[in-house]
């Protein structure tokens, strides 16, 4: 660890944490390593192991980039307009399109699509039936994860969806529950985009 370049470690941390950690954290880790008795005694061995891990991660990143490029190439053959939706890039568009099966007509309504994704609320019995906001986790786990990832981006980057998310938060709902509601809205958008084959345009908040 001690002989690993700080910037190399910082770049790795940044990628692994989606930008949350960087050079400061890398320096902190290296300083901790300097004060660790075990690591000091076998610093060359630990440095070799760290360098090997770094090389493996670089190789995996290269493979992921290659797969993403191939997915993008294949998606160019389909005119889905899914990528115009905030939070949906080529890879997530490919997951959504393939999990839906390429034909939105299989679903007669948005609730049917929501159920297929397993994103309808779990029911909880306490005198009378009511929901607790948690998702059922039935249906397609791949579609559900893709929608969840897209929703977490759209909740902060799409003007209208961000307003919707903040409204849910102001109602006292925690982040995960509010994102669950955003997922429903995202599925409604996806349903309309695929049904009409039209570019998504965020609704005006003015």
- Confidence (pLDDT) at 140: 85
Instruction: Please tell me whether residue 96 adopts helix, strand or coil conformation.
Output: helix
Q: Sorting pLDDT into bands at 50, 70 and 90, what band is 59?
A: confident
Threshold 0.75, pTM exceeds: no
Q: How far is CA 84 from the centre of its chain?
A: 16
Distance between CA atoms of residues 97 and 94, nearest Å: 5
- Confidence (pLDDT) at 24: 77
Q: How far is CA 72 from the centre of its chain?
A: 17
Where is 3: in which H helix or E strand? none
Residue 28: φ, ψ to 5°? -65, -45
pLDDT over 80 at 161, yes or no: yes
Q: How far is CA 2 from the centre of its chain?
A: 33
Q: Which two tokens stand for residue 47?
A: 């440095």
Q: Which long-range contacts (CB under 8 A, 24 or more apart) does 58-61 make?
A: 61/15
* Averaged pLDDT for residues 152-172: 94
pLDDT over 50 at 75, yes or no: yes
Place of tokens 């060359």: 44
pLDDT in tens, 169-202: 999 999 999 999 999 999 999 999 999 989 999 8
How do strand 128-135 and strand 121-126 relate by DSSP bridges?
antiparallel
DSSP string, 48-67: HHHHHHHHHHHHHHHHHHHH
Per the model's pLDDT, the better-predicted residue between 46 and 1 turns out to be 46
pLDDT in tens, 120-154: 755 444 444 444 445 556 778 999 999 999 999 99
CA-angle at 58, arms to 53 and 59, nearest 5°: 95
Q: How far is CA 48 from the centre of its chain?
A: 33
């Amino acid at each position: 660890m001690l002989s690993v370049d700080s910037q190399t470690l910082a770049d790795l941390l940044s990628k692994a944490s989606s930008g949350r950690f960087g050079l400061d954290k890398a320096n902190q880790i290296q300083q901790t390593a300097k004060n660790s008795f075990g690591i000091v005694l076998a610093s060359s061995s630990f440095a070799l192991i760290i360098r090997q891990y770094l090389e493996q991660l670089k190789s995996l990143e290269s493979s992921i980039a290659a797969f993403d490029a191939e997915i993008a190439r294949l998606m160019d053959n389909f005119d889905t307009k899914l990528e115009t939706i905030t939070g949906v890039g080529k890879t997530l568009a490919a997951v959504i399109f393939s999990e839906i099966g390429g034909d939105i007509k299989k679903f007669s309504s948005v609730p049917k699509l929501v159920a297929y994704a397993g994103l309808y609320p779990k029911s909880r019995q306490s005198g009378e039936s009511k929901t607790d906001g948690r998702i059922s986790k039935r249906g397609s786990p791949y579609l559900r994860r893709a929608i969840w990832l897209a929703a977490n981006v759209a909740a902060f980057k799409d003007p209208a969806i961000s307003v919707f998310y903040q409204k849910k938060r102001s109602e006292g709902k925690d982040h995960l529950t509010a994102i669950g509601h955003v997922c429903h809205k995202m599925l409604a958008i996806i349903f309309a985009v695929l049904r009409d084959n039209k570019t998504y345009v965020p609704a005006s908040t003015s």
